Amino acid sequence: MRRQVSSSGLYRHFLTRNLENGAEKSVRALNSSAQFSSTSRFPDSPGAPQIAHPDRNSGTSQGLLSFFQPVRCLDSSARPRHVDSVPRSSVIETRRRSFVATAGNEKGPSKKCWACEHDILGGSGLFCPSCDGIQPLDLSVDHFTIFGIERSFKVDSKELEQRYKSLQKKLHPDLMSSKSQLGLHGIKVDEEGTIDDPALLMEIMEIRESLEDVSDAKELQKLQAQNALRIQDTEKVLEKTFAAGDLKKAVSWVQRLAYYNKVDEEIVRKL
Amino acid sequence: MLAQIARRVSNTGFQNANGALITLKRAYHEKVVEHYNNPRNVGSFDKNDPNVGTGLVGAPACGDVMKLQIKVDDEGNIVDSCFKTFGCGSAIASSSVATEWVKGRPMDEVLTIKNSDIAKHLSLPPVKLHCSMLAEDAIKAAVRDYKEKKAKAAGSSSDDRAEAAA
């Protein structure tokens, strides 16, 4: 909230003008009351979102309030994705893209959590109240609801910043890994546990043993390419397994993936 | 504890020109280093040998794989053992210690070896406790494998005897 916001009526007028095209109800809610004031003293910085300036006719909800869209900001492309029946099927995609944001889908008055079937009533609509699973993005939810702050014009910028950052922490793309996806689904992946799947372990043993004998860079690169293929195949299977909802199998595939990644690390270390 | 390690580490020659003691934080315990540099009992037995039990365990969290093999005589005493471990120094040391400890002991007695004993012996830091757990599991898996082999052999031999008698 490092904005120096003018609180003149004229500013408000232009803000309304620019935002009406975007038809954001939230903005109108904002505008219907007193002026927006910021407690911050920092001047505008060029890289930050710009204030709606009379000369800028963005026509959408650009301007000041684009700062209020933390969840969208995490998704660099911001294009709407098709709604998956199981939102988590794009688990593998999340590793490369930033956030699995399925376009807000009005499922009717009572929305349910995809993981635990719990009702999602009000709130920010971002997390399920019972299992804390991240819900598909609902674009109709206004910014005040997302942050859970009361609708007023005097928005404490410090508090807003804090909430923004804590939301960012919870919704960070790096958390969208396979293991945490399993965690979201309610399967406890025992981090410290030992496994004794003889087939997988034998395979890994053999791979590591063959690695021991190799020291030539070209050979290592070949092995690395082979391993990369293995990783790709495992990821594909993992995607399918998640989509099919077979989470017990998913656990074993995730373990396999972990081992293949370790093999890759070892090769890199040798190179 | 850290001071103890630091003293021991410095006794092994970590002194600069002025003779001042340079204490290294987070150094491996000297026992771990010893096992890592001179691992005992690395190798493999023939898996198909009826007197050999093979325990193969892994920890996907750190990508470690551990294979521990025991050679058992007819009285149920472990006469020899070897291991092969891919993992961190603590994992290698834990399995090395495990092979040393099981040698010459009865099979059922080695099942009482706890990971806490191994960890204490090697002064493993808390973050490496799962390595000792892996070693304990490897011992148990090896014994289990041997017993299953024996049971299968006994089962098939009694079938042969029944067939011969019939």
Per-domain residue ranges of chain A: 111-171, 198-270
pLDDT score of A183: 65
With 50 as the cut, is the pLDDT of residue B77 above it?
Answer: yes
pLDDT score of A85: 42
Residues on chain A touching B67 (C-beta within 8 angstroms):
205
Closest by Cα among B20, B50, B57, B23 to B149? B50
pLDDT score of A101: 40
Say which CATH topology domain A198-270 has.
Monooxygenase (1.20.1280)
pLDDT score of B63: 86
Residues B67-70: contacts with CB within 8 Å, 24+ apart? B67/A205, B67/B138, B68/B95, B68/B98, B68/B99, B68/B135, B68/B138, B68/B139, B68/B141, B68/B142, B69/B44, B69/B45, B69/B142, B70/B102, B70/B107, B70/B142, B70/B143, B70/B146
pLDDT tens string A202-240:
999 988 888 888 888 888 888 889 889 988 998 888 888
Question: Mean pLDDT, chain A, as a whole number?
Answer: 65
Length of chain A equals 271
pLDDT band at A151 (very low <50, low <70, confident <90, very high): confident
**Lowest-confidence pick of A145-149, A150-154, A226-230:** A150-154
With 80 as the cut, is the pLDDT of residue B10 above it?
Answer: no
| Distance in angstroms (rounded) separating the CA atoms of residues A10 and A54 | 9
Note whether B61 contacts A263, CB cutoff 8 Å.
Answer: no
pLDDT score of A153: 67
The tokens 């001042």 sit on which residue? B20
Select from B62, B65, B137 the Cβ nearest to the Cβ of A205. B65
Of B91, B131, B134, B141, which residue is the catalytic one? Answer: B131
**Lowest-confidence pick of A90-94, A107-111, B75-79, B106-110:** A90-94
B62 catalytically annotated: yes
pLDDT score of A178: 64
With 90 as the cut, is the pLDDT of residue A185 above it?
Answer: no
φ/ψ of B28, rounded to 5, equals -65, 145
Burial class (CB in 10 A: 0-12, 13-18, 19+), A5: middle
Which amino acid type is present at position A228?
A
pLDDT band at B138 (very low <50, low <70, confident <90, very high): very high
Residue of A nearest to B144 (CA): A196
For residue A213, the distance in angstroms to the closest alpha carbon of chain B comes to 14
pLDDT tens string A2-42:
444 444 555 455 444 544 444 444 444 444 443 444 443 44
With 60 as the cut, is the pLDDT of residue B14 above it?
Answer: no
pLDDT tens string A32-69:
443 444 443 444 444 444 444 444 444 444 444 444 44
Which residue of B42, B44, B54, B56 is the best one to mutate when testing the A interface, meaning the one whose CB has the most A CBs within 10 A?
B56
With 90 as the cut, is the pLDDT of residue B71 above it?
Answer: yes
For residue A192, the distance in angstroms to the closest alpha carbon of chain B comes to 6
Q: What is the mean pLDDT of residues B34-63?
A: 88
| Distance in angstroms (rounded) separating the CA atoms of residues A105 and A90 | 17
Residue of B nearest to A260 (CA): B63
B82 catalytically annotated: no
pLDDT score of A59: 41
pLDDT score of B52: 93
- Percentage of chain B lying above the pLDDT 70 cut: 83
Length of chain B equals 166
Strands A111-112 and B64-72: unpaired
* Better-predicted residue by pLDDT, A132 or A15: A132
* Better-predicted residue by pLDDT, A257 or A134: A257
Domains recognised in chain B with CATH numbers: 30-157 (3.90.1010.10)
Reading the block at residue A140, the tokens are: 């109709």
Note whether B57 contacts A192, CB cutoff 8 Å.
Answer: no
pLDDT tens string A86-127:
444 444 444 444 343 434 344 445 667 776 777 776 666 777
pLDDT score of A103: 40
For residue B58, the distance in angstroms to the closest alpha carbon of chain A comes to 5
Question: Are A146 and A140 spatial neighbours (Cβ–Cβ below 8 Å)?
Answer: no
pLDDT score of A106: 41
